[in-house]
Amino acid sequence: MSSTSLDAAASGHGEESNYLNAHPGIGSWLTTLDHKRIGVMYLITILTFFLAGGLLALAVRAELFTAKGDLFTPDTYNKLFTLHGAIMVFLVLVPAIPASIGNIVMPLMLGAKDVAFPRLNLASYYIYVFGALFMVYTLVSGGLDTGWTFYTPYSSSHSNSSVTSALLGAFILGFSSILTGVNFMVTVHKMRAPGLTWTRMPLFIWALYSTSLIQILATPVVAITLFLLTFERTVGIGIFDPALGGDPVLFEHFFWFYSHPVVYVMVLPAFGVISETVAINSRKHIFGYNAIALSSVAIAAIGFLVWGHHLFISGQSELAGSIFSLITMGVAVPTAIKVISWIMTLWRGSIRYNTVMMYTLGFLWIFTIGGLTGLPLATLNTDVHLHDTYFVVAHFHYVMMGGVLFALICAMHHWWPLITGKMFNENIAKPVFWLVFLSYNATFLPQFVAGSRGMPRRYHEYLPEFEIWHKASTIGAMLFGLGLFLILFYLVASLLKGAKAPKNPWNGLSLEWQTSCPPPEHNFAGQPICKKGPYEFPETLSA
Amino acid sequence: MSSAAHHGHEGAHHPDQAHHFFSMEQQNAANKLGMWAFLVQELLFFGGLFMAYIAMRYMYPDTFHSAYQHLSIPMGAFNTVVLLTSSLTMALAVRETQLENRGKAKNYLVVTIICAFIFMVVKYFEYTHKFHDGLLPGKHFKGWELDAVQKVHDAPQLFFAIYFMMTGVHGLHVVIGIGVLMWLWVRLNKGDFDKNNYSAVENVGLYWHLVDLIWIFLFPLLYLVK
């Protein structure tokens, strides 16, 4: 680990210098400006919080195993699901793919030596950690019981839990997200290698670009909202408090103006990952490059105009509700364009059924279910029935958690050789995929049934007729947790005992595969020049 | 800056060029685009406050028409002139940096910083006056007696909530601006910046103009309701 480039050159057969061993010691990691190391630090931190949020979810599922509230008190249960949601949304899903995988891969894909602002990149990481400390403080100082949405006036005037520290944590995390967005947006504009035109950019870059636009435009709105709410709770300024003449629905509008677009911050990078893995493992040019690229931008744009579908039963006017319903349907169009393009890419490709491809196909299944169940929720009159039921819970877990998590696992496997220089064991990974995939569906498909039959969300006791669906869901969740642990084990094992990764193990054409695995400290031996698009695979061009 | 020296192996580079850029032009263009993107997020950050203002004014038009009279128009107008002046001197500081007249640039920065301080001093007197009169946000409002009905029907406390939040967040930006302007002065004093490397000065200038611009909207919205 401590060998420098000089040592390696002197010994002749020593390990070649790469970004992992270029500088020894933990201090060199904590002060690094290298986007790859920052991405690795993000990945480790995010996965740690994913573990915390996941254990909270398992506690929620354990309580729901029986219809009686026999494990936790109602107050504890409220805190469990709130903290699960807050940790998963603010600490895990928002930065999950862009800040970790995106940070590592994007400059490599662009043929750049780093992101545009390396110091800002490190600052974003530490701002993230700082915000995360507030969340950890919230966790240990009495928890949070408002739901991750912080609805007023409960959050401002009534809750006895640690709302203020959670608000400050989310506020600080927002700035980490904004600065990452600024950094990535400028990187895409200004750091591309010679010859890398906009239409030769890998689709993952297009997705990250659209994501960064949302981060810049939406996050500041929730930042000021949380700022106002902090003053509301500590000083009592009254803007969201009906007892002082304020308007709680205004808070809901503000909150969802960010929090709807933010689901696209989570899922657009996932789309980008799938565009890469589906093409590279079909050995075929992606179907509808322009359509996929521009549909990312379209989703980002339309996503700003749909927040009102979270307020269908808030007293918002029927006209506003109808318009929001219509625009929400509009998001389905660019999303469907993507799904159809991915399926058309598979068509007559020479498909490589490796682990990455299995997670890609798993994503397609899960995201299609998640997307289609969004339609009855976008429809004004059916949503009035389904609002605040487990149908909604299942829907957003299918898109946010299933979609994003399957894409994150997919991305970790796909770029694992690039990041670590090691190959994982496909023979173990494939059966684990089936465990993860089947248990995931076992967890959330029953929730659609329970929800459509009237099971409300956020209750720790429920009618016995729903017990069968909750039992299936809880068993699925436990197996899902087991599957994720197995992934962790075999990936860590690959670090210790895995075969050394060859250069370009998947025969990719995008620039990140044109350097060694793992890359040297400054990414490329010389300045790479892009001569053709990333999906012009020779196998299908000759066919 | 230090990383440039560390990795500057290709020679003939500007000493301030970071290792991961091809050229100073690329670096300046990236810095400028980054700043504009940051200013866009600033606009949306304040946008939330402006939306809150619109919502509250729409709900309580009569309150807004009476409560604004407790604000001092002369003080607000004076501060407007002060900030406009500081924007001018900031623009001149950028120009003198481009022309490599560091002495003049430093002087213009000093005037800008003094204007910012004057702005904050005037704000201090305005705020203490409101505190003294009990014209405070939300539940702390003691400007005059309100019964339970008046509290939700007139809601003067909400006008002052909006006033303090908007001018407070803006004032915070002025204070941050003072810090960044001082940092620029120190760097100019060390002999940093030249005609090929002035994007830091230019970017702080853009920030300062935005802070000025937001006040240009705050002043009429809060002080000149009628």
Encode B126-147 in three state secondary structure: HHHHHHHHCCCCHHHCCCCCCC
Contacts of B128 (CB under 8 A, 6+ apart): none
What letters, b where the CB count within 10 A reaches 16 and e where it falls short, cover A34-49? bbbbbbbbbbebbbeb
Contacts of B52 (CB under 8 A, 6+ apart): A228, A239, A250, A254, B162, B165
Residue range B27-43: mean pLDDT, rounded: 96
Asked if the model's pLDDT at residue B169 lies above 70, the reply is yes
- A447, A473 in Cβ contact below 8 A? yes
Per-residue CA distances from A432 to A144, A381, A425, A484 (Å): 34, 41, 11, 8
pLDDT score for A513: 96
For tokens 């956020």, what's the residue?
Answer: A458
For tokens 């949070």, what's the residue?
Answer: A144
pLDDT score for B59: 94
pLDDT score for A3: 36
CA separation for the pair A535, A311 (Å, rounded): 42
Q: Both ends of chain A: CA-CA distance in Å?
A: 45
Runs of H (alpha helix) within A64-151: 74-86, 94-95, 103-110, 118-140
Q: What backbone torsions phi and psi does residue A500 show, to the nearest 5 degrees?
A: -70, 135
The answer to which of B5-9, B200-204, B207-211 has the lowest mean pLDDT is B5-9
**Chain A residues with beta carbon closer than 8 angstroms to that of B26:** 190-191
Q: Which residues of B touch A (CB under 8 A)?
A: 3, 7, 18-20, 26, 29-30, 33-34, 37-38, 40-42, 44-49, 51-52, 55-56, 59-60, 137-140, 151-155, 157-158, 161-162, 164-165, 169
Q: Residue B120 is encoded by which pair of tokens?
A: 């904050």
Q: Is the peptide bond before A24 cis (omega within 30 degrees of 0)?
A: no
For tokens 């744009």, what's the residue?
Answer: A301
Q: Is the peptide bond before A248 cis (omega within 30 degrees of 0)?
A: no
Residue A422 in 3-state DSSP?
strand
Q: Residue A11 is encoded by which pair of tokens?
A: 């010994």
| Residue in A with minimal Cα distance to B28 | A190
Nearest Cβ partner for B48 among A225, A235, A246: A225
With an 8 Å Cβ cutoff, are B169 and A219 in contact? Answer: no
Three-state SS letters, A331-376? HHHHHHHHHHHHHHHHCCCCCCCCHHHHHHHHHHHHHHHHHHCHHH
A245 touches chain B (CB under 8 A): yes
| Total Cβ atoms within 10 A of residue A461 | 13
Residues of chain A with pLDDT under 70: 1-15, 540-543
CA dihedral B20, B194, B11, B22 (to 10 degrees): 30
Residue A531 in 3-state DSSP?
coil
A262 touches chain B (CB under 8 A): no
| Residue in B with minimal Cα distance to A191 | B21
CA B138 to chain A, closest CA, distance in angstroms equals: 4
CA separation for the pair A376, A397 (Å, rounded): 16
pLDDT score for A74: 94
Confidence of residue B24 (pLDDT cuts 50, 70, 90): very high
pLDDT score for A538: 85
Please choose, from the candidates A261, A260, A268, the residue with its C-alpha nearest in 3D space to the C-alpha of residue A206: A268
- A204, A275 in Cβ contact below 8 A? yes
pLDDT score for A12: 39
Long-range contact set of residues A447-450: C-beta below 8 Å, sequence gap at least 24: A447/A390, A447/A391, A447/A393, A447/A394, A447/A397, A447/A473, A448/A373, A448/A390, A448/A391, A448/A394, A448/A395, A450/A389, A450/A390
pLDDT score for B226: 81
CA A422 to chain B, closest CA, distance in angstroms equals: 27
ipTM of the complex: 0.92
pLDDT score for B11: 52
Please choose, from the candidates B158, B181, B161, B47, the residue with its C-alpha nearest in 3D space to the C-alpha of residue B106: B181
Instruction: Give, in degrees to the nearest 5, the angle at Cα A235 between A253 and A316.
Output: 20
Please choose, from the candidates B134, B225, B38, the residue with its C-alpha nearest in 3D space to the C-alpha of residue A216: B38
Q: What is the mean pLDDT of chain B?
A: 92
Instruction: Give, in degrees to the nearest 5, the angle at Cα A484 between A480 and A490.
Output: 140
Nearest Cβ partner for B47 among A221, A241, A522: A221
With an 8 Å Cβ cutoff, are A190 and B20 in contact? Answer: no
- A322, A397 in Cβ contact below 8 A? no
pLDDT score for A541: 58
